[in-house]
């Protein structure tokens, strides 16, 4: 069940949030609204952020530049990644893969 809040009221709360947390984005704003018992669609929150702080949102959106590389034969370059979503239950996973193509 979503909260009944007008666009104007949402913009006021978004503006207040950006004053106290100027470097935060959509996820933090969603959490901020949830702490105030406001549950609305993600798209509405995103539109409010674009309206209030559009330039910062555009500057913040960046894409990763994937680089190609060459490495010596096997076992010369390894890639590691960790998965910590289940840490509350004592489960942490790590994965490694050989970077040789």
Based on the fold, state whether residues 44 and 12 are members of the same structural domain.
Answer: yes
Number of domains in the chain: 2
State which residues form the domain around 96. 70-101
Query: What is the arithmetic mean of pLDDT over 80-92?
Result: 89
pLDDT digits 0-9 by tens, 23-65: 888 899 999 999 999 999 999 999 999 899 877 777 677 777 8
Based on the fold, state whether residues 31 and 76 are members of the same structural domain.
Answer: no
In the chain, % of residues over pLDDT 70: 97
Classify residue 82: in a domain, yes or no.
Answer: yes
Task: With a cut of 80, say whether residue 93 has pLDDT above it.
Answer: yes
Which residues touch 100 (CB under 8 Å, ≥6 apart)? 71, 72, 73, 74, 75, 76, 77
Based on the fold, state whether residues 56 and 12 are members of the same structural domain.
Answer: yes
Closest CA to 9 of 56, 57, 48, 54: 48
**What gap in Å lies between CA 31 and CA 23, rounded to an integer?**
14
pLDDT at residue 101 in the model: 63
Based on the fold, state whether residues 23 and 43 are members of the same structural domain.
Answer: yes
Query: What is the arithmetic mean of pLDDT over 16-29?
Result: 91
């Amino acid at each position: 069940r979503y909260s009944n809040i007008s666009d104007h009221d949402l913009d006021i709360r978004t503006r207040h949030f950006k004053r106290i947390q100027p470097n935060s984005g959509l996820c933090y704003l969603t959490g901020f609204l949830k702490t105030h018992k406001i549950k609305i669609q993600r798209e509405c929150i995103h539109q409010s952020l674009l309206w209030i702080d559009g330039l910062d949102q555009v500057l913040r959106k960046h894409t990763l530049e994937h680089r190609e590389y060459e490495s010596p034969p096997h076992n010369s370059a390894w890639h590691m990644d960790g998965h910590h979503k289940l840490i509350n239950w004592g489960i942490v996973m790590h994965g490694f893969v050989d970077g040789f193509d």
